[in-house]
Structure 1
Amino acid sequence: MAYFTSNRSAGRHFLQIPGPTNVPDRVLRAMDNPTMDHRGPDFGILGKRVLEKLRPVFATSGPVIIYPASGTGAWEAALVNTLSPGDTVLMCETGWFAHLWQEMAGRLGLKARLLETDWRRGADVAAIAEALRGDRGHEIKAVCVVHNETSTGCTSRIEEVRAALDAAAHPALLLVDTISSLGSIRYEHEAWGVDVTVAGSQKGLMLPPGLSFNAVSAKALKASETARLPRSFWDWKPMLAANATGYFPYTPATNLLYALDTALDMLLEEGLGDVFSRHDRHAEATRRAVRRWGLEIQCEEPRHYSSALTAVRVPEGHSANALRAAILERFDMSLGNGLGRLNDRVFRIGHLGAFNDLSLLGTLGGVEMGLRVAGVPHEGGGVQAAMDYLSGNA
């Protein structure tokens, strides 16, 4: 069966979009095991093991719920389990995915109060704090923030959002999307006082798409008792009841759970601190290459730089999509496209998941050659700048 219609060249395809990411061979081999009886005794052992190993990745001692769904499903689960029709949610539009989450809230019957940004930085904590201080009647029931905005390469400071909630003595829930940051960028569900953390399998967790997650606080569980948005498939209550023995209330994605079990082992064997440092290092090497090329990083605020991806602006009068097409055709490498208002303005380099120094240098080499082929004005030496940084910072 041919899955790719384009001509394939020798060597492996470089999949350098910011998710789905490359799946390690060890994870692929785990998926290749025979499907298990999801009501049998062995499955209960697997289920309990995976649910327990997820907790340190989210940095929580509380429950983590797994859905057979994309991250979009976990967005919906976070909202419908905690809120009621007509509730007001405060959302910061840091990019395309924050915009989509806000659209979903409206379709579910929530009142989404949107704080806009220029898509060149993370969440505006000062604006969030001002909105919370002004909400003396506590009409805002939840604050929703995307931790790492995949469309822009900007990471929000969730601990500062929590501090703003605490300073205003505001009871709103804090809901955070970590779909492109979990397992790549340091994140502390419990220490940062997050009530629901949303995540997906296809990025830092190094799996194919198909699993999504809610890490849930005691406050969120309490809110779910009175929340009145309709829910059935997404309901936490039957999931948690079944999960207590390692099972699920409906058919789980068994072979993806094999993969998750192995991927979690890989993250914990490397050590989460080292995983985050590896991502930080590759992100800095990428930014040094971009600056040497004379191109502009989409994220303007250094403290909001993402360690999972770098979005790069092309000069005025040039097409990011044409550049990506040239790189795909000539060098068999996929880069992320610009989304929403950034369509054809940026290309996105994913440097997350199962990724090492040589993977990065191959990626940056493909970009530098592509800039030349596509006629995009730039300076040479970006790959050398990355090499200098990597070789001097083990």
Structure 2
Amino acid sequence: MCDADAYRHPALLLVDGVSSICALDFRMDEWGVDVALTGSQKALSLPTGLGIVCASPKALEAAKTAKSVRVFFDWKDYLKFYKMGTYWPYTPSIQLLYGLRAGLDLLFEEGLDNVIKRHTRLGTATRLAVAAWGLKNCTAKEENFSDTVTAVVVPPYIDSSEIVKHAWKRYNLSLGLGLNKVAGKVFRIGHLGHLNELQLLGCLGGVEMVLKDIGYPVKLGSGVAAAAAYLSNSTPLIPSRI
């Protein structure tokens, strides 16, 4: 927002929730968030391609006099077509919208509170595995730990990009690269979306094999055991099957 807009309108609270919305506790109205955005490829468990934006009445009102240049994504266009009953001003990605419907059905079936608790379990289990490997979380303070992704710091003699490449080439395991200042220093384990405890344990087992292959002295099974011990004591019965 430019200075003129900031002066004309009360401050707006914008939240980038790409790696958190539908995985972590997020309360737009209660917290006074005016604009929130997320992507289809994270907790909604879809392919990349949809950007999802939620705007409060305050944000919609501010947009009427904002001077920022807008072309493709103008809320006015979307609101106009929505009132006309056609819902979309441009050609939509129909297959992704059907996927979004299916993804939301899964979330509603599990219940959002249960989804958040599941992500908390998966995040905790991953961090326990990392500690069992003798490695550290890139996030230094516990209060800042993420329950959707864990960045693992590697020893100085290891290039983390080699871990990511080896995981993909040998085990068909997709890990995240370290970016910018931590490029080559960390790799990322994502644990969000439609993921369960057994799938996570498989991923952690794969990471252990990769670490061993590239020369890190990991004890195979150590991280999996730490994560499994925690999950076996914290995972509840599936509500729909009780």
Regarding TM over 0.5, the answer is yes
1:386 pairs with one of 212, 218, 227: 227
Question: What is the CA–CA distance in structure 1 between the aligned matches of 2:95 and 2:157, rounded to whole Å?
Answer: 47
- Cα 1:343–1:188 shift into 2, 3 Å: same
Moved more, 377-386 or 329-338: 377-386
1:326-361 Cα offsets, whole Å, 9 max, x none, are: 222332211000011111100000111111111101
Alignment of 1:225-304 (within 5 A): 225-244=64-83, 245=85, 247-304=87-144
2: CA distance between counterparts of 1:222 and 1:336? 39
Change (3 A) 1:242 1:320: same
Matched, 1:174 2:13: yes
State the superposition RMSD in angstroms. Answer: 1.8
Question: 1:201 touches 1:210 (CA, 8 Å); kept in 2?
Answer: yes
The structural deviation recorded for 1:365 is 0.3
For residues 228 and 19 of structure 2, what CA distance do their matches in structure 1 show?
Answer: 26
Q: 1:344 aligns with which of 166, 184, 194?
A: 184
Q: Distance in 2 between matches of 1:87 and 1:307?
A: 38
Paired residues of 1:315 and 1:377 also in contact (CA < 8 A): no
- Percent sequence identity over matched residues? 45
- Give yes or no for contact 1:140–1:172 (8 Å, CA) kept in 2: no
The amino acid of 2:34's aligned partner reads D
- After superposition, residues 20-39 of structure 1 pair within 5 angstroms as none
Tell me, what secondary structure is at the counterpart of 1:198? strand
Q: Distance in 1 between matches of 2:223 and 2:189?
A: 14
The residue identity in structure 1 corresponding to 2:148 is A
Q: Which has the higher contact order (CA 8 A, sep 6+)?
A: 1
Gapped regions of structure 1 (runs ≥ 5):
1-82, 89-137, 142-170
What TM-score do the two structures reach when normalised by structure 1?
A: 0.57
Instruction: Quickly say closer, same or farther: Cα 1:299–1:182, change in 2 above 3 A.
Output: same
Count matched residues.
233
Hey, what does 2:149 align to over in structure 1? 309
Q: Which has a greater percent of strand?
A: 1
1:43-82 equivalences under 5 Å are none
The one of 157, 165, 180 equivalent to 1:325 is 165
- In structure 2, distance between residues paired with 1:267 and 1:274: 9
